[in-house]
Amino acid sequence: MYFKQIQVSGLGCFSYILGCPAAGKMIVVDPKRDINDYLDISREEGMRITHIIDTHVHADHVSGAHELAARTGASICMHPQTPATFAFTPLPEGAVLEAGAARLTVLHTPGHTPHSLSLVVADLVRSDEPWLVLTGDLLFVGDIGRPDLVGKAALEEQIKNLYDSLFVKLGALPDHLEVYPAHGSGSLCGKGMSPKPSSTLGYERRHNPRLQYAGFEDFALAMSQDFPARPKSFSHIIATNAGGAPLLERCPLEQALSVEDFERRMAAGAVIIDARDGAAFGGCHIPGALNIGFEKQLANWVGMVVDPAADILLVVNDRAAFEAMRTELQRIGYDRILGWLAGGMQAWIYSGRPAERLEQIAAPELAQRLKAGDTPLLLDVRTGPEWAGGRIAGARHMPFAEILQACCTLPVEDEIVVYCGSGYRSNMAGSYMLAHGYTNVKSLAGGVLAWGRAGQPFVK
């Protein structure tokens, strides 16, 4: 049996290839939207893609099922009651798919969504006995799938489904089965995932904190609260996947825009994402631009800040950076990318147009000012657990998601210093505040990482 896990950094998405070169057949599970990896393996290993399985309607990334089906003619397969508006091949409980030596048996495991599947896999060359299980968004390494994405009205039912799927459906499977989930560290479909990409059922039963509750009542209480923030992009992604994602060839073509064209699209209301690093953005940027640097979890943060229906302009250093950024955005359904500023920020500066700064204040300078009693408003935009673990004395806690909703309640002319773990989120928050009328915002360069390494204290 051929088996391969494909990882998408940043989003924390895993997809899978199962097949048999001897039989010339291949199945792809939970494909990402950019499909060249699957096509390359299909060609290199001499396997024809026969089936494409989505374990559920994904909320955090656009499925590549339609893209792959259009290129290969393979069938798209999902749970029979999946609320999709396109034709697909139903996979009911107990259904079996084979690709030569690879045998996949379907389990209906609702909880993350009502129509989620897990796939029990055997390598028939070795044994009829199952070897591994693809758990979709049911069971992760170190966590389980969140049940709240379908809405509050169905939450109670989803929690019961989740419990039954974990402890009854998977409970009937042996400890030695390897676990391969649809997500890993970095995904917002859970909140405590390990960076390790696989595990075993036995290890998770012993050490996954979400599987240690005394009974259903304790489990239900824990799963009714404290979910990660839901990006505004999730509803758009769910609708896109349920309706069938448009093929990428139908998306706007790449455009290297002149300063004049870029400015004209700005004036028409396009959102500017400046993907440069925080220091470069802080030194000089286009007024109104949002700094969302090209980092590991870029896609999750874009989903928090930018409306998926928005027209988008990009400020990047070169064409290669634009193409990488475009791929990341298309993975989460941001298709209205109008182009990038040819020549980068330098072209804007040389044109004589106005620019803004997001001042970066170094940890020693901030410490000296605080010691002297020269105290700006300190905003800590980290998560609750980060805040509880240690913070700068006198800071006010306003998590990043709250900044997006409530920054207008702060005095717009006061000096504000925003900080986070490393400076990435604080630059995003600071740029958002500048774009919304704040005139004296600074970002702590290096965040609490730099603060601690500068020998400065934390309070709890």
| 79, pLDDT greater than 90 | yes
* Distance spanning both ends of the chain, measured CA to CA: 53
Residue 190 neighbours by CB distance under 10 Å: 24
Q: Let me know if residue 16 belongs to a domain.
A: yes
Confidence of residue 167 (pLDDT cuts 50, 70, 90): very high
pLDDT at 440: 93
Residue 317 Ramachandran class (φ > 0 left, ψ -120 to 50 alpha, else beta): alpha
> What pLDDT does 412 receive?
84
Structure token digits, residue 340: 């990038």
Q: Are 196 and 141 in contact (CB under 8 A)?
A: yes
In tens, the pLDDT along 194-239 reads: 889 999 999 999 999 999 999 999 999 988 877 777 787 888 999 9
For residue 417, give its domain range.
359-453
What pLDDT shows up at residue 95?
A: 98
Question: 274 with 345, same domain?
Answer: yes
Residues 139 and 227 in one domain: yes
> What's residue 254's pLDDT?
58
pLDDT of residue 227: 76
* Residue 150 pLDDT greater than 90, yes or no: no
The pLDDT of 411-415, averaged and rounded, is: 87
161 with 223, same domain?
yes
> Strand, coil or helix: what is 38?
helix
Q: Are residues 330 and 411 in the same domain?
A: no
Cβ–Cβ < 8 Å for 377, 416:
yes
Note whether 134 and 217 are same-domain residues. yes
Q: Fill in the DSSP letter of residue 437.
A: T
346 with 363, same domain: the answer is: no
Q: Is the pLDDT of residue 365 over 60?
A: yes
Mean local confidence (pLDDT), 241-267: 85
What mean pLDDT is predicted for residues 382-395? Answer: 93
Q: Which residues pair with 443 in a beta bridge?
A: 360, 418
* Domain total of the chain: 3
Q: Which residues contact 212 (CB under 8 A, 6 or more apart)?
A: none
CA nearest to 61, candidates 222, 267, 245, 209: 245
CATH number at residue 426: 3.40.250.10
Mean pLDDT taken over the chain: 92
Residue 291 lies in a domain: yes
Domain boundary among 319, 350, 381: 350
The arithmetic mean of pLDDT across residues 25-45, rounded, is 95
Residue 378 and residue 336 in one domain: no
Percentage of the chain beyond pLDDT 70 is 97
Are 119 and 49 found together in one domain? yes
Q: Are strands 441-444 and 359-361 parallel, antiparallel or unpaired?
A: parallel
Q: How far is CA 311 from CA 75, 254, 439, in A?
A: 33, 13, 26
In a domain, 245, yes or no: no
Answer with the one of 306, 323, 350 that is the final residue of a domain.
350
List the Cα angle 52/130/24 in 5-degree steps: 45
Q: Residue 9 pLDDT more than 80?
A: no
Q: What is the pLDDT of residue 368?
A: 95
Contacts of 351 (CB under 8 A, 6+ apart): 259
User: Are 295 and 422 spatial neighbours (Cβ–Cβ below 8 Å)?
Assistant: no
The secondary structure of 244-292 as a DSSP string is: -PPPGGGSPPP-EE-HHHHHHHHHTTPEEEE-S-HHHHHH-B-TT-EE-
What average pLDDT does the segment 336-357 reach?
95
Mean pLDDT, range 22-40, rounded to an integer: 96
- Same domain flag for 255 and 377: no
pLDDT digits (tens, 9 = 90+) for 257-279: 999 999 999 999 999 999 999 99
Over 70: is that where the pLDDT of 182 sits? yes
**Residue 253's pLDDT band (boundaries 50, 70, 90)?**
low
pLDDT for residue 395 is more than 70: yes
Q: Is there a domain that residue 241 lies in?
A: no
Residue 408: which pLDDT band, with cuts at 50, 70 and 90? low
| Residue appearing with tokens 């505040």 | 433
8-state DSSP, 115: T
Q: Tell me the per-residue pLDDT of 88-126, one tens digit each, with 9 for 90 and over.
A: 999 999 999 999 999 999 999 999 999 999 999 999 999
What is the rounded average pLDDT of the residues 188-197?
A: 79
Residue 296 predicted with pLDDT over 70 = no
**One domain, residues 286 and 376:** no
Is 242 inside a domain boundary? no
Task: Give the whole-angstrom CA distance, residue 406 versus residue 412.
Answer: 12
**Could you give the CA distance from residue 449 to residue 392 in angstroms, rounded to a whole number?**
12
Q: Do 174 and 201 form a contact (C-beta atoms < 8 A)? A: yes
* pLDDT for the residue 153: 84
In the prediction, which pLDDT does 430 show?
94
Q: Taking the mean position of all CA atoms in its chain, how far away is CA 71?
A: 26
Structural domain ending residue among the three candidates 350, 368, 387: 350
* Longest CA pairwise span in the chain (Å): 75
Q: What is the pLDDT of residue 232?
A: 78
Same domain, 444 and 310: no
Please give the distance of CA 299 from its chain centroid, rounded to a whole number.
5
What 3-state class would DSSP assign to 91? coil
What is the per-residue pLDDT for 247? 86
- 250 pLDDT band, cuts 50/70/90, is low
**Residue 392, SS3?**
coil
- Tokens for 318? 């070169």
Q: How confident is the model at residue 246 (pLDDT cuts 50, 70, 90)?
A: confident
22 and 61 fall within a common domain:
yes
For residue range 298-314, list pLDDT tens digits in order: 777 888 889 989 999 99
